[in-house]
Structure 1
């Protein structure tokens, strides 16, 4: 049995022995397994592996079909959320039983997705903050994973909506600090989805600072997002980033030719990604009197 793989997985998730074994076994049992190779009962080992998003079979290089299926479902939902397919996201989340997700990383992903969907669709604040509290207070108690940052942003969105600017600013400042650090150190990423999640952080943080009329900082974040899309050859966020850039340009009284170019780029990427929300927003902005035809 590859115990080193087990230990490496726990450390990669930044889980302490105490956190991993909570409610399953004693810390001494886990320590004896990791340090001395004393294998606990199969039931305990299964539960420990489940909590880390792996199976006992994976310690022998075998695949974990159930975990793989859930991970694929959640990743698909996450991409739909990025493209603002909110009805599709809502429907897909209802098919997943959170009680059947034992792995901590997948549980964090689930609560982030449901919390963010509720945040951007203006659900009750207590519903939104409950999901994010599952991450911040239970699953990522040391606040070391990117899901904590996503929970910060979702919380910031909610506090902005309910007109609590001090709390909103607190969370978005934390997200901005993380973005700067993440962009400075993008090597050796263990999770291939992290750059997409960083794009999520960038977009919502840029949008927040635009609402605060800090267009300089918002534009800097937008450009960082566009650069990240180019680096990883992804287009999920380009329609939204380009449209936000166009909105900022309108508020900054930029040249109308530049504004139209941004809107045309937003529309092109929206059509490429089947983002009908941005298509409608582009049409509205072009026809609302702020931008005349060029």
Structure 2
């Protein structure tokens, strides 16, 4: 971080330390930052920079760590996470220096990705919940962004795994309420910005309720997810949604032809998206289902 750029900007605006930090932080906090490089909290630093008409990212000396470059890397990782390429996601996250991510939205995205990866790959609960707490307790204290909802779902996955059903149900109910409200918004706003993340919420919530035996609610969520994919012309989640629908259909003892159709659709979309995980699951379910009928 280029602290000299920060100091030069303050002096160019003829702002004293006391005037710049008034209502934001103590002068001692600002002095420690300018003299010793002790970076204050991101919320404080963002407000100090905003008062001078600059952004935190402008203080970053490394062009490779610019907001655009980091956003691109995180978006690629998020896409791979949706397609269950967990080893690739793990390797990519390890290459990112958390300290270089200064913007609050990007930090939330980073903690969501690392937390969700750890949740779905059965890492230690405290590791998972620590990342989500960064969002819930620090970066989105008012719980207004979709990253809070994603943190709820990841927390629900973790509490399900460690057999704390009341807590899991608490978080998934919050996610379900958000999904219902968001789906109404997509009916009037075709450019809903977070539809891919909404699909993530829909899939994991549908999967949760399927495992609880509430197949009707799960099917409703799956149908909403498929409709959202169609509306936005995306196929990332179709393999997983169609496969989950096939699993539900088996549990519901649906017609053999319906189950076969869903499995065929899941396989077709898995091949289209190079999702080998779903291809293997389809093969296993086909084999198990045939042996039972």
TM-score normalized with structure 1 length: 0.80
Q: CA RMSD in A?
A: 2.6
Distance in 1 (CA, whole Å) between partners of 2:130 and 2:190 is 29
Aligned-pair CA distance for 1:241: 0.1
Q: Is the Cα–Cα contact under 8 Å of residues 199 and 237 in structure 1 kept in the other structure?
A: yes
Residue 232 of structure 1 is matched in structure 2 by 232
CA distance in 1, matches of 2:197, 2:140: 16
Give 2:143's aligned residue.
Answer: 143
In structure 2, C-alpha distance between the alignment counterparts of 1:99 and 1:140, rounded to whole Å: 18
Shift of the alpha carbon at 1:66?
Answer: 1.2
Q: How does 1:151-166 map to 2 (within 5 A)?
A: 151-166=151-166
Q: Compute the displacement of 1:23 (Å).
A: 3.1
Q: 1:256 to 1:292 in 2, by over 3 A?
A: farther
Match of 1:23 among 41, 44, 58: 44
1:81 and 1:149, CA in 2 relative to 1: closer, same or farther beyond 3 A? same
User: Is 1:253 matched up with 2:253?
Assistant: yes
> How far, CA to CA, are the matches of 1:165 and 1:106 in structure 2?
31
In 1, the alpha carbon distance for the partners of 2:245 and 2:24 equals 46
Question: Which residue pairs with 2:290 in the alignment?
Answer: 291
1:212-227 alignment, distance < 5 Å: 212-227=212-227
Q: Distance in 2 between matches of 1:26 and 1:82?
A: 34
Deviation sequence 1:179-223 (CA, Å, 0-9, x none): 00001012558873x100000000000000000000000000000
Match of 1:112 in 2: 112
The answer (yes or no) to whether the contact 2:24–2:44 under 8 Å persists in 1 is no
Three-state SS of the structure 2 residue aligned to 1:24 is helix
How far off is 1:24 after superposition? 2.9
Deviation at 1:291, TM superposition (A): 3.3
Instruction: Map Cα deviations across residues 87-120 of structure 1 (whole Å, 9 max, x no partner).
Output: 0000100110111000000000000000000000
In 1, the alpha carbon distance for the partners of 2:190 and 2:103 equals: 20
Is the contact made by 1:82 and 1:237 (CA closer than 8 Å) also made in structure 2? yes
Are the aligned partners of 1:286 and 1:293 in contact in 2 as well (CA < 8 Å)?
no
Helix, strand or coil at the partner of 2:198: helix
- 1:125-184 CA-to-partner distances (Å, cap 9, x unmatched) read 000000000000000000000000000000000000000000000000000000000010
SS of 1:234 mapped into structure 2: coil
5+ unaligned residues in a row in structure 1: which ranges?
A: 1-16, 34-39, 57-62
Aligned twin of 1:91: 91
SS in 1 for 2:141: coil
State the 1:22 CA deviation: 4.0
- 63-72 or 152-161, which deviates more: 63-72
Superposition map of 1:186-225 within 5 A: 186=186, 187=188, 192=193, 194-225=194-225
- Equivalent position SS for 1:117: helix
Q: Distance in 2 between matches of 1:253 and 1:272?
A: 28
Name 1:36's counterpart in structure 2. none
Partner Cα separation in structure 2 for residue 143 and residue 67 of structure 1: 23
Number of residue-to-residue matches in the alignment: 252
CA spacing shift, 1:105–1:164, aligned 2, 3 Å: same
Structure 2 spans left out of the alignment, 5+ residues: 1-22, 26-40
Superposed CA deviations along residues 5-48 of structure 1, whole A, max 9, x for unmatched, are xxxxxxxxxxxx96998433878x96xx5xxxxxx3xxxx44xx
Whether the aligned pair in 2 keeps the contact of 1:256 and 1:291 (CA below 8 Å) is no
Equivalence for 2:29: none
